[in-house]
Structure 1
Amino acid sequence: MDRRCPAAHPEDPTPCVGPVSVRVLDAAGAVADGCEHHGARMLASLARGSVYALPEAPDGVAIRVFKAADGIRPFCWIDGPRTTPSQLSRAENRARQGC
């Protein structure tokens, strides 16, 4: 089995995309480094999370992860109906509010 980045959730079946290039922080200050793909998926699943580029990361990586996370539903690998705000992406919640 291929090793995945630390930001990959154990239940998320998707492989890493690219090298580890971002650091994702939760509201309590816990951190996980990850590829762009898993960094975005992790950020989408956090309330008040943030993302930073690692020192050797390509330009713009943190903003790409931030923008991608906006359209990803929290814990997007879990199947089932998604109806409450906590189950929808930030973009979906803004659209529901007419923003």
Structure 2
Amino acid sequence: MDHRRCPAAHPDDPTPCTGPVAVTVLDTTNAGANGCEHHGARLLASLAGGRVYALPDAPTGAAIRVFKAADGIRPFCWIEGPRTEPSQLSRAENRARAHL
């Protein structure tokens, strides 16, 4: 059985890929990785100032789905333990806290 995963999958993230490699996620220095939508979103959520772009043969809407999913995912979400600092929360959680 082939257990290879997309380049965007963090080595410590135990989740499998979902779908084909469809997006490129770039950090603020333009270093990046191609990935499935699932791992692309998890990677984007773990980057400050990251960007996502659909690959030429990606399904329609792939980049926006990744962008929207990343908003609700905590950085390095596979790490267990208490999460209380803003850098440990999702962007959506931080927005909600700002409106309290």
Say whether the fold is shared (TM-score over 0.5).
Answer: yes
Structure 1 residue 46: Cα displacement: 0.1
How far does residue 37 in structure 1 lie from its aligned partner after superposition? Answer: 0.2
| Residue correspondences, number | 99
Alignment of 1:43 onto 2:60: no
SS across alignment from 1:75? coil
1:87 paired residue number: 88
Counterpart residue type for residue 21 of structure 1: A
Which runs of 4 or more aligned residues in structure 1 lie more than 6 Å from their structure 2 counterparts after TM superposition? none
Q: Please provide the CA RMSD for this pair.
A: 1.0
Tell me the SS of whatever aligns to 1:51.
strand
In the alignment, which residue of structure 1 is the partner of 2:28?
Answer: 27
> Does 2:16 align with 1:15?
yes
Counterpart of 1:73 in structure 2 is 74
Report SS of the residue matched to 1:58: coil
Flag structure 2 segments of 5+ consecutive residues without an equivalent. Answer: none
Match of 2:64, SS state, is helix
Structure 2 partner of 1:96: 97
Unaligned runs of 5+ in 1: none
SS of match in other structure, 1:59: coil
Corresponding residue SS for 1:74: coil
Q: Distance in 1 between matches of 2:32 and 2:22?
A: 13
CA distance in 1, matches of 2:99, 2:93: 10
Query: How far did residue 31 of structure 1 move?
Result: 1.0
Once the two structures are TM-superposed, the CA of residue 15 in structure 1 deviates from its matched residue by 0.2
